[in-house]
Amino acid sequence: MINAHGCCCRFLLKMPGLVFVKESLVSSLPVQSVACTAFMSHFSSTQLVIKTCRKMGIQTVAVHSDVDSSAVHVKMADEAVCVGPAPTGKSYLNMDAIMDAIRSTGAQAVHPGYGFLSENKEFAQRLAAEGVMFVGPDTHAIQAMGDKIQSKLIAKAAGVNTIPGFDGVVKTAEEAVKIAQDIGYPVMIKASAGGGGKGMRIAWNDEETREGFRFSSQEAASSFGDDRLLIEKFIDNPRHIEIQVLADKHGSALWLNERECSIQRRNQKVVEEAPSTFLDPATRRAMGEQAVQLAKAVQYSSAGTVEFLVDSQKNFYFLEMNTRLQVEHPITECITGLDLVQQMIRIAKGYPLQHKQEDIPINGWAIESRVYAEDPYKSFGLPSIGRLSQYQEPLNLSNVRVDSGIQEGSDISIYYDPMISKLVTYGATRAEALAKMEDALDNYVIRGVTHNIPLLREIITHPRFISGDITTNFLPEVYPSGFHGHQLATDSRRELLASAAALYIAAQLRSQRFLLSTIPQERGKWELCVELGKDRHNVEVTRSGNTYTVSLSFSFSLSVEVDAGRVEVSGEWNLASPLLPLTINGTHRMLQCLSREASGEITVQYLGTSFKVRVLSKLAAELDSYMPEKIPEDTSSILRSPMPGTVVAVAVKAGDTVAEGQEICVIEAMKMQNSMTAAKTAKVKSVHCKPGETVGEGDLLVELE
Amino acid sequence: NHELQKNPDCCPSSAPLLPLDCRWYSVSHLSVQERIDKKRKAALVGGGQKRIDAQHKRGKLTARERVELLLDPNSFVEYDMFVEHRCSDFGMEQDRNKFPGDSVVTGQGRINGRLVYVFSQDFTVFGGSLSGAHAQKICKIMDQAVMVGAPVIGLNDSGGARIQEGVESLAGYADIFLRNVTASGVVPQISLIMGPCAGGAVYSPALTDFTFMVKDTSYLFITGPDVVKSVTNEDVTQEELGGAKTHTAVSGVAHRAFENDIDALLNLRDFFNFLPLSNKDASPVIECHDPSDRLVPGLDTIVPMESTKAYDMLDIIHGIVDERDFFEIMPNYAKNIVVGFARMNGRTVGIVGNQPKVASGCLDINSSVKGARFVRFCDAFNIPIITFVDVPGFLPGTAQEYGGIIRHGAKLLFAFAEATVPKITIITRKAYGGAYDVMSSKHLRGDMNYAWPTAEVAVMGAKGAVQIIFRGKENQAEAEAEYVEKFANPFPAAVRGFVDDIIEPSTTRKRICRDLEVLASKKQVNPWKKHANIPL
């Protein structure tokens, strides 16, 4: 399993979701067939499971909801069963329907992936009752680790470092405040039953504790059907580092090194890497050994993850244990060479571990970026929806792995997590893996939904990230006033303007190339004006090669004079392709054309961020000053939905007076609640939404006077 | 600022009468040259700097600036720069009221290297009003355009008739109208309304193939707000009565509106590239970088499982055409049908598609008329027509019946039936009832008719059909299921050869590009007639 070359040449797919096992095609194989389903974000895991199963000769059955009937994982599986309509409570969380599906297909095992029921003890119990194998740990381990309060007690008893100020179940807001005061601020509030960062809020005072309590308990109820909460001491400047463990049913356990997942937004992971730049071998071993101790303490069997918070002194504290395959597991596979899904299936079938601790290497470096369908300019990412009109993964590059459950034409709906894919790059060194990630992000074509590639690319090229100086507060620390995209320096601005001018010229020249007619003399010199934001730049372009070739592709070599600076641009473009590779002053860049209008407006993705420029001839630019300015709508007195979603609560009615910052209504999208607040103190003029209503991005919610 | 227009006294009458004297000749020559230069100079500034400034202040460009932006650099060849109006009443005969070229700039030039005739009305000269001379200049270029076979673009910015000239101005309008009509179907005619256009003047744009407007600065109406107030006592602003929004969304008079003069002119250049130069030319083919055999995987999942659920026909169109480049005509009017130009493997095609997102994509009066006019333009100018069908039928109701849906719906039927250009039809989902026949069906000489696997070709939806066939039968649900099984699929049409093939949606682009190559040499002639009698 471990690649002797030290590189991860075998990219495996795995995803969350259920997979049922059916009948073994080859009787000597360890497991029979599996198949199950997942959600949007989880489809990729389902695919991974299906791929590994296929490799192992196992038949699979995918389960899916109405709206996912044409999803990739459904097509990949040997069989598919629809378990209900889109809302997750009626499909992927609907245990009755899933049990029916298992019976009707005769599945013998279920791989739960990493979504929905993957850590649900009741589900595991029901499977056990029917004699269906659950590819994952035993019920008691899920139960022990699924409860955040109990898990800490167990961890403590097993000799694992735990976070100080640990406390119990909370029922009312006032109780929450009291507990918080006892622990001392800041505190973290989250749902006991929930995994990941969902329902997790940090409170610095009593008021925030009350608010956090309300939100967390609502989210807990809506996502997990269990409104218990947990409050604990919040560690400032922490790093989130987790240990992958693998334990069999014979009492053996291994730690497969760490993953650093400190780059988070709203406590959800964004960029992960393995190994961590921060750990020394001694700390790594100490963490690994504690993780294994915990696994053994709960007689864990299967793959699991023990999450730690690590402070600046390399003190580490147990956070929680995830009893499932995690979204970020591929990076561990990259550096260790193990196929975790295969290991899980082997363990479930009762085989002992194949490896010894000393067999587990750290080969090279792997980085994972979570590509989300969300707008990074709004709170580092608010969900966006749409149809993927164009979608092209950067699989042309080596050492790049993309786990996704979607394809061109897929709809990103409001029902599920907005994850598009996990983009993993691998390199012999961290620098190599990072450079590859930069390339991969530049080559990733996503059209039709807003995505977070601008943010991802900024993170992985930020000096602090490159030097490894990160904490879980990285984003708010680096972007205190929010993320605003790539900030152009003099050189990069010049390069952008020159590229835009080249694109304009390419389109202009091509638009004269009618077949069967004389092609007019092609110009060798252009005087243009390129607008970027409010600034205008004079751009003079001269042909530096002998001629242009436009047929089938546009190959060119241009010398561009931008604001008295010279840029040499050359390339060969297919104007129908969204990817425009070019060489700017000797540097290779991948430009993406997002739109090109007759009016000269060009939107390009450059260094990850999309920039809108307008290229005009000199004459048009001169005359442009006479054009009337269009007056934009006054937005301070209207509240529009920043994203598509469902209205959960409306706190005001017409005639009410609201204070600036006061909550007006709550919108839920992709299982996340967002509080909409008033931009100014005013009287409410009219309310245009009702609780329960579905709203689109930009829909008018409330008008103020 | 009329100094420039004043004729300087450079007449050689004061020169000594020395016949055949070469000195006299050269003096005269010099002075003529001077006069030429002066006139030219005067013509270039139209109504003078003050008026030009006023024009700019309104957010509008001058007639010449517009021509320059529209045409390729240095390609404009001006005609009739020296023409002046001939009115001698009301002091018009005075020199200060004479402007070389009068209130319109005319000539020919190139757009991306292709010939076009242009007139651009000059609002700085008598508010762009139409004199006999003005009309004569326009008629001259129109005549030549028809003769050589090149499109005519009119940039309209005129207060109306030159009232001082009375009937001569009216005659001028009629001369233009006549040419608009005779040129119709011979060369493409495009009007871009860039200022006021009122009264009789509106009928010239109305006769042309396409009318575009500039937002906030252009108006089209028969009578202005003042007259409306005095006759009907309605209070209405210019913008409400005849602004770009009104005509592109409510009346359907204009085909599209643009943000400002520059945006409009640059878009017009783009639009021009789709058009053949005349009815003798084939549909133009431009160099294409988009592979003709490109598969479009997204189309396999675009039609929702539930036949009542909407989707956006534009997603299909954008996916199939070259480089997702679609120039939509009338995007804000009768949105239940989508029409516009695109290219397939570089060749211009006209696209017609029902829009399930709006009113389920049904056909009603407005959408029928919109579709019919577009189809006829394509047919007149050899542009192949690609039709995407998802139509539940004609819209029922008294509003439609009283409005004459029968004769208006017939227009679309007439247009498709009459068209002899290559016609390719793709049934994406519903093709119900008479609307199935209308939408470029095989029966109306469709050349290639395809069905996607999601197609349902039937007389009506299952529910309605079952209520009629099994009236009174108890188990309606069962009957409905039977009907769906039998008819809600492409087979009934396919077994009869009414569709040529059932294709995977993702292969649609490939199929269309291949068919268009084959059909490029299509020849089909309707029986001789003076002209057909479309149900107007």
CB A135 within 8 A of CB A43: no
Could you tell me if A656 and A615 lie in one domain? no
Question: Could you tell me the pLDDT band of residue A547, with boundaries at 50, 70 and 90?
Answer: low
Same domain, A140 and A129: no
Select the residue from B64, B287, B343 to test the A interface by mutation, using most A Cβ atoms within 10 A: B287
A389 to B323: CB separation less than 8 angstroms, yes or no: no
Inform me whether the C-beta atom of residue A696 falls under 8 Å from chain B C-beta atoms: no
Mutate to test the interface with B, among A512, A528, A551, A618 (most CBs of B within 10 A): A512
Domain count, chain A: 6
Q: Which domain holds residue A207?
A: 166-233
What pLDDT was estimated at residue A517? 73
How would residue A227 be classed by pLDDT, with cut points 50, 70 and 90?
low
Residue with tokens 């050349």: B447
Distances (CA, A) of A497 to A478, A579, A624: 27, 17, 19
Q: Where are the domains of chain B?
A: 42-273, 297-455+499-519
Chain B environment of A619 (Cβ under 8 Å): 68-69, 73
The pLDDT of residue B371 is above 70: yes
Residue A632 contacts B where some CB pair is shorter than 8 Å: no
Residue A39's pLDDT is 30
More confident residue, B291 or A692: B291
Q: In this complex, is the C-beta atom of A576 within 8 Å of any C-beta atom belonging to chain B?
A: yes
pLDDT of residue B245: 93
Taking all residues of chain A, what is their mean pLDDT, rounded to a whole number? Answer: 82
Look at the alpha carbons of A120, A124, A127, A133 in this order and tell me if their dihedral is positive or negative: positive
User: Who's near A204: CB < 8 A, 6+ residues apart?
Assistant: A185, A186
Q: How far apart are the C-alpha atoms of B439 and B493, rounded to whole Å?
A: 14
In a domain, A685, yes or no: yes
Measured between CB atoms, which of A70, A551, A576 is closest to B301?
A70
pLDDT confidence band for A209 (50 / 70 / 90): confident
> What's chain B's average pLDDT?
91
Q: Do B42-273 and B297-455+499-519 have matching folds? A: yes
Q: B63-70 vs B261-272: helix axis angle to the nearest 10? A: 40
Tens-place pLDDT, residues A11-45: 222 233 344 544 333 322 333 333 333 333 345 56
Is B297 in the A-facing interface, judged by CB distances under 8 Å?
A: yes
Contacts of A390 in chain B (CB under 8 A): 298
Whole-angstrom distance, CA of residue B460 vs CA of residue B465? 6
What is the C-alpha separation between B9 and A685, in angstroms, rounded? 71
Note whether A158 and A287 are same-domain residues: yes
Cβ contact (<8 Å) for A511 and B112? yes
Of A268 and B21, the one with more pLDDT: A268
A5 vs B74 pLDDT, higher one: B74
Strand ranges (E), B395-438? 423-432
Q: What is the pLDDT of residue A649?
A: 84
State pLDDT tens for residues B388-423.
Answer: 999 999 998 999 999 999 999 999 999 999 999 999
Residue A414 has a CB neighbour count (10 Å cut-off) of 20
pLDDT of residue A325: 82
Of A116, A135, A154, which residue sits at a domain end?
A: A135
Q: Quick one: pLDDT at residue B28?
A: 59
pLDDT at B145 over 90: yes
Q: pLDDT tens digit string along B212-246?
A: 999 999 999 998 899 899 999 999 999 999 999 99
Q: Are residues A351 and A274 in the same domain?
A: yes
Query: pLDDT tens digits, residue range A618-674?
Result: 999 999 999 988 777 666 788 888 777 788 888 888 888 887 777 888 887 765 677
Q: Which chain B residues contact residue A598 at CB under 8 A?
A: 266-267, 269-271
pLDDT at B513 over 80: yes
Residue A15 lies in a domain: no
- Is A265 found in the same domain as A141? yes
Q: Which two tokens stand for residue A72?
A: 């990739």
Contact at CB, A514 and B60, closer than 8 angstroms: no
Question: Distance of CA B102 to CAs A209, B9, B44, B372, Å?
Answer: 78, 21, 11, 39
CA A585 vs. chain centroid, Å, equals 34
Per the domain annotation, does A7 fall within a domain?
no
Please state, in angstroms and rounded to a whole number, the distance separating the CA atoms of residues A205 and A75. Answer: 51
Q: Is the per-residue pLDDT at A217 higher than 80?
A: no
**Measured distance CA(B245)–CA(B254) in Å, rounded:** 9
Which residues of B does the annotation mark as catalytic?
199-200, 434-435
| pLDDT tens for each residue of A48-82 | 777 777 777 777 787 777 767 767 777 777 777 88
- Contacts B56 to A, Cβ<8 Å: 626
| Arithmetic mean of pLDDT, A525-545 | 87
Q: What is the model's pLDDT at position A26?
A: 30
Closest chain A residue to B326, measured at CA: A597
The CA distance from B369 to the nearest CA of chain A, in Å, is 28
pLDDT tens sequence across A334-376: 999 999 888 988 888 888 998 999 989 999 999 999 999 999 9
- Residue A595 in contact with partner chain B when CB distance is under 8 A: no
Mapped onto helix, strand or coil, the DSSP state of residue A492 is helix
CATH (domain of A538):
3.30.700.30
CATH number for the domain spanning A434: value is 3.30.470.20
Query: Does B462 or A461 have the greater pLDDT score?
Result: A461
How deeply is A222 buried, as exposed, middle or buried, from its count of CB atoms within 10 A (0-12, 13-18, 19+)? middle
Within an 8 Å CB–CB cutoff, is residue A514 touching chain B? yes
Kindly report the number of other CB atoms within 10 A of residue A213's CB atom.
Answer: 25
> Are A383 and A464 members of one domain?
yes
Give the C-alpha separation, B411 to B422, whole Å.
Answer: 19
Q: Does A628 touch chain B (CB under 8 A)?
A: yes
Alpha helix (H) residue ranges in B89-185: 132-148, 167-183
Whether domain B297-455+499-519 has CATH 3.90.226.10: the reply is yes
With H, G, I as helix, E, B as strand and everything else as coil, classify residue A415.
coil
Q: How confident is the model at residue B93 (pLDDT cuts 50, 70, 90)?
A: confident
Q: Which residue of B has its CA nearest to A527?
A: B73
Amino acid A2: pLDDT: 30
Distance CA A425, CA A437 (A): 6
Asked if pLDDT for residue B100 goes beyond 50, the answer is yes
Residue B472 CA to residue A220 CA, distance in Å, equals 52
Question: What pLDDT, on the 0 to 100 scale, is given for residue A77?
Answer: 77
- Alpha helix stretches (DSSP H) within A462-566: 463-466, 474-478, 490-510
A357 and A373 part of one domain: no
> Quick check: B298 and A513 CB within 8 A?
no
Q: For residue A6, what pLDDT band results from cuts at 50, 70 and 90?
A: very low
Domain assignment present for A670: yes
Predicted local confidence at residue A20, as pLDDT: 52
CA atoms of A224 and B53, how far apart (whole Å): 68
Q: Region A92-103: what's the mean pLDDT?
A: 80
Outline where DSSP puts E strands in A385-457.
386-387, 390-392, 400-404, 411-412, 419-427, 445-447
B245 in contact with A at a CB cutoff of 8 Å? Answer: no
> Which tens digit of pLDDT belongs to each residue from A136-189?
787 788 888 887 778 888 998 999 988 766 555 677 788 888 888 887 788 888
The pLDDT value recorded for residue A83 is 78
For residue B436, the surrounding DSSP H or E stretch is: helix B433-438
Cis omega before residue A186 (within 30°)? yes
A242 pLDDT more than 60: yes
Instruction: List CB contacts (< 8 A) between B285 and chain A.
Output: 514-516
Q: Is residue A17 part of a domain?
A: no
Q: Which of A78, A81, A14, A22 is nearest to A43 (CA)?
A: A14
Mean pLDDT in residue range B351-366: 94
Residue of B28 and B50 predicted with greater confidence: B50
Residue A16 lies in a domain: no
- Cα atoms found within 13 Å of the Cα of residue A78, Cβ hemisphere only: 23
Residue with tokens 């259920």: A18
Residues A263 and A341 in one domain: yes
Q: What is the 3-state secondary structure (H, E, C) of B443-470?
A: HHCCCEEEECCCCEEECCCHHHHHHHHC
The residue-averaged pLDDT of B315-329 equals 96
Structure tokens, A535: 């600034």
Please report where in the chains the tokens 């029901």 appear, as a residue: A126
Question: By CB neighbour count within 10 A (0-12 exposed, 13-18 middle, 19+ buried), where does B495 fall?
Answer: exposed
Which comes out higher in pLDDT, residue B474 or B528?
Answer: B528
Q: Tell me, yes or no, whether A6 lies in a domain.
A: no
- Are A475 and A597 contained in the same domain? no
Contact list in B for residue A404 (CB cut-off 8 A) is none
B chain contacts of residue A616, beta-carbon cutoff 8 Å = 262
Say which residues have a Cβ less than 8 Å from residue B306's Cβ, sequence separation at least 6: none
A661 shares its domain with A556: no
For residue B264, the chain A residue with the least C-alpha distance is A599
Predicted pLDDT of residue A42: 43
Class of domain B42-273: alpha beta
Last residue of a domain, one of A117, A135, A153: A135
Hey, what amino acid is at B40? R
**CATH number of the domain within which A689 lies:** 2.40.50.100
* pLDDT at res. A24: 34
| Contact across the interface for A628 and B305, Cβ inside 8 Å | no
**Residue B9 pLDDT > 60:** no
A689 assigned to some structural domain: yes
Phi first, then psi, for residue B248 (nearest 5°) are: -90, -20
Domain boundary residue, one of A233, A266, A282? A233
Among A534, A529, A531, which residue's Cα sits nearest to residue A618? Answer: A529
Asked whether residue A469 falls in the same domain as residue A542, the answer is no
Q: Which of A210-224, B143-157, B428-442, B443-457 has the lowest mean pLDDT?
A: A210-224
Is residue B118 within 8 Å of B79, Cβ to Cβ?
Answer: no
Provide mean pLDDT across the span A611-616: 95
Average pLDDT over residues B519-528: 95
A670 Cβ contact list (under 8 Å, min separation 6):
A383, A414, A415, A416, A417, A418, A645
pLDDT surpasses 70 at B130: yes
Angle, CA A89 vertex, CA A88 and CA A94 arms, to 5°: 105
| pLDDT at residue number B125 | 94
Cβ-defined contact of B59 to A628 (cutoff 8 Å): yes
Highest averaged pLDDT of the listed ranges A234-248, A413-427, A611-625, B460-474: A611-625
What amino acid positions of A are annotated as catalytic residues?
A: 324
Amino acid sitting at position A190:
K
Whether residues A566 and A546 fall in one domain: yes
Statement: residue B455 has pLDDT above 50: yes
Task: Provide the pLDDT confidence category of residue A445 given band limits of 50, 70 and 90.
Answer: very high
